[in-house]
Amino acid sequence: MPPTDRRYPDPAIRILDPRFNALRLPSASVECLYQGARWSEGPVWFGDQRALLWSDIPNNRILRWDEESGEVGVFRKPSNFANGNTRDRQGRLVTCEHLTRCVTRTEYDGAITVIADKFDGKPLNSPNDIVVKSDGSIWFTDPPFGINGFYEGEQAEPQLKPSVYRVDGQSGEMTVMIDDFIGPNGLAFSPDESILYVVESRSTPRTIWAFDVIDGGRKLDERRLVIDAGPGTPDGFRVDIHGNLWCGWGMGDAELDGMRVFTAEGEAIGHIDLPERCANVCFGGRHRNRLFMAASHGLYSLYVNTQGIAGS
């Protein structure tokens, strides 16, 4: 599919603060790579395959975009209403599943291993977004969104509080890290992993909070507010090597649709306009300088003058 605009610089790339100039490429434009999903989420880049996977939740499938051919095919169907995806430090796909209410790992031979499905003997709600730290620990959010109805899973009553969990990379032990958020959603670490950022997506307004990671990465210190989204709707996001937050954005006013860029201090510096709300993003390409944006019905990309954090 053609780029959204043929002009350079692309007017869809809006500068909200001069500091964003250093992160943009004047001769790069937003490209629409695919249309045809019902609700796109959870993009993850596989450099060894030169391919991107992402979830189409209501269609119960994971799609695959091939960098060389530009073709899109079905990677997995049914996907158990998969949502967030990432890779572990061995390069394996790790996925949040709504239907099975669990986190899984896809082994090299295609076998599926369940990483987490219960806590204190009770089923998880509907794991949503996920990140793997350099020590191998797996961190994920578990709001009830996937069990609220039959569109993104199967309706059920939650038995656990919405929480953020940590699964130890060696022992597999699960720990509740946060249990007082209204709708914990996207999460990501700072470049040095000293800070964990988490979206509180059912607060009014939506917010992004930061926690200092302490005790060898096993505990979080008190939270502090980084971003008050106002009318915006942060969802999934990623952090670049300079500590900037690249956030899926949209809903409400169409001028909010797309993705918004913030400094580590929470200052909005840039916005990428899309014709639909963006739910989640990731960096990919040979040098991790291609931003992929999973929006409502489509998949978009933009080359940028920064890089995503390795392994995120």
Bind-site residues for a divalent metal cation:
41, 185, 235
Q: State phi, psi for 146 to the nearest 5 degrees.
A: -75, -10
Virtual torsion, Cα 82, 84, 88, 92, nearest 10 deg: 30
Give the residue ranges of the annotated binding site for substrate: 128
The answer to whether 146 and 81 have CB atoms below 8 angstroms apart is: yes
How far is the C-alpha of 144 from the C-alpha of 122, rounded, in Å? Answer: 14
Sheet bearing 184-189, strands edge to edge: 184-189, 195-200, 207-214, 219-228
Q: Within 13 Å and on the Cβ side, how many CA atoms surround 243?
A: 13
Active-site choice (56, 129, 142, 235): 235
How far is the C-alpha of 307 from the C-alpha of 312, rounded, in Å? Answer: 11
Distance, CA of 52 to chain centre: 13
Give the residue ranges of the annotated binding site: 41, 128, 185, 235
Radius of gyration of the chain (CA): 18
Among candidate residues 231, 229, 226, the one with its CA nearest the CA of residue 266: 226
How far is the C-alpha of 91 from the C-alpha of 48, rounded, in Å? Answer: 9
How far is the C-alpha of 100 from the C-alpha of 80, rounded, in Å? Answer: 6
Task: Say whether 235 is catalytic.
Answer: yes
Distance, CA of 150 to chain centre: 22
How far is the C-alpha of 250 from the C-alpha of 246, rounded, in Å? Answer: 13
How far is the C-alpha of 181 from the C-alpha of 1, rounded, in Å? Answer: 39
Q: State phi, psi for 88 to the nearest 5 degrees.
A: -85, 180
Report the catalytic residues. Answer: 235
